Structure 1
Amino acid sequence: MMNHMAAILKHSVLRRPLSTAPIFNRAIKRQQRNNIALLENSDEYEYLKDEVARRLVDRLEDIEREFPLALDLGCGSGHLYKNLSVDDGLGRVTKLIQCDSAENLLLRDDLETNTLLETTRLVADEEFLPFPSHHFDLVMSSLSLHWVNDLESTFRQILDTLKPDGAFIGAVLGGDSLQELRSAFILGDQERQGGISPHVSPFMNVADAGNLLSATGFNLCTVDTDFIQVDYPNAFVLMEHLRGMGENHAVNSRGAPVTRDSLLAAASIYQSMFGQPDGTVPVTFQIIYLIGWSPHESQQKPLRRGSAERSLKEELSRE
């Protein structure tokens, strides 16, 4: 039985294709995110986004530079702003432009007056940036760009809006995110319907993210990854929290809607495969962090192939 399950999972893993074909329904995703802003307890679902924003600001602190004008792309309710306002990174950024396509979420909170960080909010689509060339010293994006369809185009637009030697720092959900839920749905559909429909959106892997950043023209690119595990009472509470985060399913080819039988089967399989001694179930979020720089003549360049003054053979012969 376990070998059969493993075979199903092996041939059913959803990996995000790097193409310009629209994978996600952006209108549905925007509506989902606008809807969560209307929930009375919407801030209770923001723990993951707040934590990733904190870790992104930590990476900003490692850069010994000030950024007078910065853009927060896909800012949501202001997770990066909150961390820039209270963290040691305060002062690195003088003015912050926050933009998001979901107006309700963007304008949900009244921003506290901060004399050290001037802030402007703007409704804008992450796929169609309305900013002039060479405008920003820094572009940041935290847990937003994994819902963009043409990520290559968005990266090129980000690069265009950066001043020479400007920095891009981003975080997206990686392909290993929600792997437990994905597996449970695959096996539940197979058990109850004899087929598989996508119920968890695909995300990119680490190698694709780094390659795409380099291919669009960024220099000095670095990529690293974190895994964050969160425990929930059961699979139903997990799915409720994903909706509250605005991270629920939104692909164009939605396939057959999930049936009650498939949902119950998936929850049962989730519990049996991943349940912990205390009865809770874990879920994994893979976070891919990206840093790239707009080209500038002052940046260190890789040595031309064959330009070394001494060969490896000569170095080894000296030992």
Structure 2
Amino acid sequence: MPSVSPPQIFSRRRRIAGLRRALVRQSQRDAARYLIAEMVEDVLDRLEFMRLAPKRVLVIGDWTGTLALSLNGSGVMIAERDVASLDEEQPIPDGPFDLIVSLSSLDRVNDLPGALLHIRNALSDEGIFIGSLIAAGSLANLRRAMIAAEPDRPAARMHPLVDNRAASALLQRALFKRQVVDGRTLSVSYSSLDRLVSDLRDQGLANVLAKPGPALGKAALERARQAFLSTADEHDRVLEDFEILTLTSWKN
């Protein structure tokens, strides 16, 4: 039977362009980077807890370079790849690796099962994969604001996200022998919808849908702003949650 291509939900071209703009924005002193910083710290904690001493490591998606810098030393060979130089939906070159880490990279690929299989194939026999991604349940206030902006016919503006159960099933489908999937919540307060959107752009997390909706008109944007602030606390700040999934899997 002929193979069936996965649906094209995301635009790789738009994703790369957004990340390149984010790198430019990161030159600003107050640019947001709390999501990638939290993911890096979590991975380092896990590696210390597991007492891993990998010799060949591939880091995908850490545009800060912090994780590679922290791991560098003790004879560790570090390879770094960003989404502009590595297509996760294609075989990964230069393997095998003892450890592959992917940070906020796999939640916006069209063929996620294929990407996970390529990661597994690039691991050594005792290799480990650790991946962190933004998961279902994130940005509830932003989602509500987008619906309020266009109540009659809302356009697609938010990405579909993976939940815990789906992540476990995907790892099994990619033939990993052991899987651990756990989630945590990072809560951040915002003074406005515009500040949240700016933070997302700083971190390369803007809309990269293959068929994005048109730009919001002035009236729709104002409805979105008001809806976002409707849950503000006594300090006029809105608490937004980012649900982060971490996938830890062994090849064998």
User: Normalized against structure 1, the TM-score is what?
Assistant: 0.73
Q: 1:126 aligns with which of 76, 88, 91?
A: 88
Aligned residues: 247
Q: Secondary structure at the match of 2:24?
A: coil
Aligned to 2:238: 281
2:8 & 2:88 partners in 1: Cα distance?
14
State the Cα distance separating 1:259 from its structure 2 match: 1.9
Q: 1:78 aligns with which of 65, 68, 88?
A: 65
2:199 & 2:115 partners in 1: Cα distance?
28
1:43 & 1:26 partners in 2: Cα distance?
27
State the Cα distance separating 1:44 from its structure 2 match: 2.4
Instruction: Please list the CA deviations of residues 69-126 of structure 1 after superposition, one character each: whole Å capped at 9, or x if unmatched.
Output: 01002232314224436xxxx75x7111000123xxxxxxxxxxxxxxxxxxxx3222
Match status 1:154 vs 2:141 = no
Asked if the contact 1:155–1:216 (Cα under 8 Å) also holds between the matched residues in 2, the reply is yes
Aligned to 1:292: 249
Structure 1 segments of 4+ aligned residues over 3 angstroms from their partners: 82-85
Match status 1:100 vs 2:82 = yes
State the Cα distance separating 1:139 from its structure 2 match: 0.5
Aligned to 2:55: 68
Mapping 1:171-182, distance limit 5 Å = 171-182=132-143
Which range moves more in the overlay, 247-256 or 279-288? 247-256
Cα distance, 1:212–1:130 mapped onto 2, change above 3 Å: closer
Asked if the contact 1:54–1:83 (Cα under 8 Å) also holds between the matched residues in 2, the reply is no
2:31 & 2:193 partners in 1: Cα distance?
18
State the Cα distance separating 1:42 from its structure 2 match: 6.8
What fraction of aligned residue pairs are identical, expressed as a percent?
27
Q: Secondary structure at the match of 1:253?
A: coil
Aligned to 1:26: 12
List gaps (5 residues or longer) in structure 2: none
User: Normalized against structure 2, the TM-score is what?
Assistant: 0.92
State the Cα distance separating 1:201 from its structure 2 match: 1.6
Cα distance, 1:271–1:43 mapped onto 2, change above 3 Å: closer
Q: Secondary structure at the match of 1:224?
A: strand
Q: 1:241 aligns with which of 199, 209, 214?
A: 199
**Rg larger in structure:** 1
Instruction: Please list the CA deviations of residues 244-294 of structure 1 after superposition, one character each: whole Å capped at 9, or x if unmatched.
Output: 11101111121333222111101101111x211101112110000001101
Of structures 1 and 2, the one scoring higher in RCO (CA 8 A, sep 6+) is 2
Q: Secondary structure at the match of 1:267?
A: helix
1:217 & 1:229 partners in 2: Cα distance?
33
